[in-house]
Amino acid sequence: MTFLRCFGFLFLSCIIARINPCSNLPFTTPTESDLESSLIRSSLMTLNLDGHFSFDDVHHAARDFGNRYHFLPCTILRPESVSDIATTIKHIFHMGPSSALTVAARGHGHSLQGQSQAHGGVVINMESLNEPAMRVHAGELPYVDVSGGELWINILHENLKYGLAPKSWTDYLHLTVGGTLSNAGISGQAFRHGPQLSNVYQLEVVTGKGEVMNCSDNQNADLFYSVLGGLGQFGIITRARIALEPAPKMVKWIRVLYSNFSIFAKDQEYLTSAKNTFDYIEGFVIINKTGLLNNWRLSFNPQDPVQASRFNSDGRTLFCLEMAKNFNPDETDTMNQEVESLLSQLSYIPSTLFLTEVSYLEFLDRVHISEKKLRSKGLWEVPHPWLNLLIPRTRIHKFAEVVFGNILTDTSNGPILIYPLNKSKWDSRTSVVTPEEETFYLVAFLSSAMPSSTGTDGLEHILIQNKRILDFCERAHLGMKQYLPHYTNQEEWRAHFGPRWESFVQKKSAYDPLAILAPGQKIFRKAISFS
């Protein structure tokens, strides 16, 4: 057992091993630390809450989708009201720097590198927070008020009862509002509507001082924009007001293949900038190797051209353009004409056109089907060394040439998504960092590692490949920014934020001066002083 002294705000370069997760003084003897832990316990137990703390079964809060980082918290708070969250944070804030207790909101725990964990701290199980009850407001500018711990799939179900739905999504809906708004929330609708954080009217936030504040574009605007894309650093989102639109009943879902990246990218960019275009545009890279993991996003239908192998790629890398057009049954003819006209502008390999029609719900919840399939084979709860990059448009060809041509030549360990986004739909006042150019691509390497494999599908191999991709971006000065960014020291975070770093630090000191919140992001470190 090593106890290292860690001094100074903001530095992470040392590791503290703790005997008991509730003990928070890094250089006490075990007996003192047990005492400390029972003091923390009893001090938290004195709080008057609607919900409760659990101290015993804390192991699940030391897991996430990434399945690589495991930090045990001291306790899990299951809040039943916003004031439970405020009371807890205020209590910890008033303990000051003599306590190392930190607080992590845990949405659905689908982060990848421990971002929703709190070593020795308090994890707030946001899904327990059921207030406010979800309320849909129809009218000119329809919106829904939801809890920050609400899952997007539940929001979809509730809104569909009123014929309404949010405008911008993620590919997978078993994620929480607070979790995706703290990042951005990107999917095939973002080129039109912007990411999810561009479609929020108002938030209620509990700051790192335990204050409950409403914020929006015209009330506490600085807090509002800080929290959006803020990686949980400035406050806990307890409720959100989300913009809605009329929901279509049906979706025409289309896939076509390309073997030439330039032509693929040209068509994608044409479609994302065209008027009266598709409602959803994504794309992915198919490195020819069959197998469930490689194709889990593809395997939605046995008639799919890739699945059915009606098209022989001869081992070449292929690019699949995926599009969807929303419609209601009485508009089928017009929709078909519009689709036909858009497709006629494209240069895909003609024999690869694949079309289907599904309900809007089925379309949006499509990844859940793959999840069930992978779960049944024990392939869902494996390590996920994902890498998500934003690449400026003018450098995407170089990126594709090197990454798909040299680095990932004969295999991929999961889907690789690639599609353009329009910066004008991203509010520059939010905390999220994007590349400089007007158009940039999301490139997502969604790898799964086979437990205990030492081969090309093993964790080690995939991490090395990820590193090669990152090193290339650095060497070639691509102006890449990570999405769902992960860094382990402050120099790297500073580089990630670039000229915006100073303002990020200044906001941190305004809203969470003791650095209590979201320690798993490893951006700031709580200052501890012993007197």
Ligand X SMILES: *[C@@H]1O[C@H](CO)[C@@H](O)[C@H](O)[C@H]1NC(C)=O
Catalytic residues: 110, 171, 282
Q: Residues with Cβ < 8 Å from 24, sequence gap 6 or more?
A: 18, 36, 37, 40, 74, 99, 100, 101, 120, 121, 528
- Torsion, CA 289, CA 294, CA 298, CA 303, rounded to 10: 40
Among 56, 57, 140, 314, binds ligand X (CB under 6 A): 314
Taking CB under 6 A as the rule, does residue 218 contact ligand X? Answer: no
Phi-psi region of 290 (alpha: psi -120 to 50; beta: other; left: phi over 0): beta
Taking CB under 6 A as the rule, does residue 202 contact ligand FAD? Answer: no
Taking CB under 6 A as the rule, does residue 312 contact ligand X? Answer: yes
Q: Residues with Cβ < 8 Å from 103, sequence gap 6 or more?
A: 88, 89, 92, 118, 121, 122, 123, 124, 236, 516, 517, 518
Q: Residues with Cβ < 8 Å from 321, sequence gap 6 or more?
A: 255, 256, 257, 258, 264, 267, 268, 271, 281, 283, 346, 348
Q: What angle do CA 246, 248, 252 make, to 5 degrees?
A: 150
Beta strands in 13-142 (DSSP E): 52-54, 75-78, 103-106, 122-125, 135-137
The nearer residue to ligand X, 44 or 443, going by C-beta atoms, is: 443
106 contacts which partner out of ligand FAD, ligand X, none, CB within 5 to 8 A by kind?
ligand FAD
Segment lying near ligand FAD (by CB under 6 A), choices 4-12, 71-79, 228-236, 390-398? 228-236
Specify the amino acid at residue 355.
L
Among 439, 448, 465, 490, binds ligand X (CB under 6 A): 439
Q: Residues with Cβ < 8 Å from 58, sequence gap 6 or more?
A: 21, 72, 73, 74, 75, 76, 123
Among 78, 108, 167, 522, binds ligand FAD (CB under 6 A): 108
272 contacts which partner out of ligand X, ligand FAD, none, CB within 5 to 8 A by kind?
ligand X
Minimum Å gap between C-beta 112 and ligand FAD is 6
424 contacts which partner out of ligand X, ligand FAD, none, CB within 5 to 8 A by kind?
ligand X
Taking CB under 6 A as the rule, does residue 414 contact ligand FAD? Answer: no
Minimum Å gap between C-beta 238 and ligand FAD is 7
Among 28, 33, 159, 176, binds ligand FAD (CB under 6 A): 176
The nearer residue to ligand FAD, 63 or 500, going by C-beta atoms, is: 63
Segment lying near ligand X (by CB under 6 A), choices 27-35, 206-214, 426-434, 467-475? 206-214
Q: How far is the C-alpha of 173 from the C-alpha of 183, rounded, in Å?
A: 15
Segment lying near ligand X (by CB under 6 A), choices 40-48, 207-215, 322-330, 380-388? 207-215
88 contacts which partner out of ligand X, ligand FAD, none, CB within 5 to 8 A by kind?
none
67 contacts which partner out of ligand FAD, ligand X, none, CB within 5 to 8 A by kind?
none
Taking CB under 6 A as the rule, does residue 105 contact ligand FAD? Answer: yes
Taking CB under 6 A as the rule, does residue 315 contact ligand X? Answer: yes
260 contacts which partner out of ligand X, ligand FAD, none, CB within 5 to 8 A by kind?
ligand X
332 contacts which partner out of ligand X, ligand FAD, none, CB within 5 to 8 A by kind?
none
User: CB–CB of 359/327 below 8 Å?
Assistant: no
Minimum Å gap between C-beta 121 and ligand X is 25
User: CB–CB of 92/516 below 8 Å?
Assistant: yes
Taking CB under 6 A as the rule, does residue 272 contact ligand X? Answer: yes
* Closest to 479 measured CA to CA, from 445, 443, 440: 440
Among 223, 414, 521, 523, binds ligand FAD (CB under 6 A): 521
The nearer residue to ligand X, 173 or 318, going by C-beta atoms, is: 318
Which contacts (CB < 8 Å, 24+ apart) does range 502-510 have?
A: 504/233, 504/431, 507/222, 507/226, 507/230, 507/233, 507/234, 507/431, 508/233, 508/234, 510/222
109 contacts which partner out of ligand FAD, ligand X, none, CB within 5 to 8 A by kind?
ligand FAD
Q: What is the CA radius of gyration of the chain?
A: 24
Taking CB under 6 A as the rule, does residue 65 contact ligand FAD? Answer: yes
Q: How far is the C-alpha of 331 from the C-alpha of 316, rounded, in Å?
A: 39
Site track 464-503 with ligand FAD (rule: CB under 6 A), x = hit: --------------------x-------------------
Q: What angle do CA 91, 92, 94 make, to 5 degrees?
A: 65
Taking CB under 6 A as the rule, does residue 23 contact ligand FAD? Answer: no
Q: What angle do CA 236, 497, 266 make, to 5 degrees?
A: 105
Q: Give the interface with ligand FAD as residue ranges (CB under 6 A).
A: 64-65, 104-111, 115-116, 126, 148, 170-172, 175-176, 178-180, 182-187, 231-232, 236-237, 484, 518, 520-521
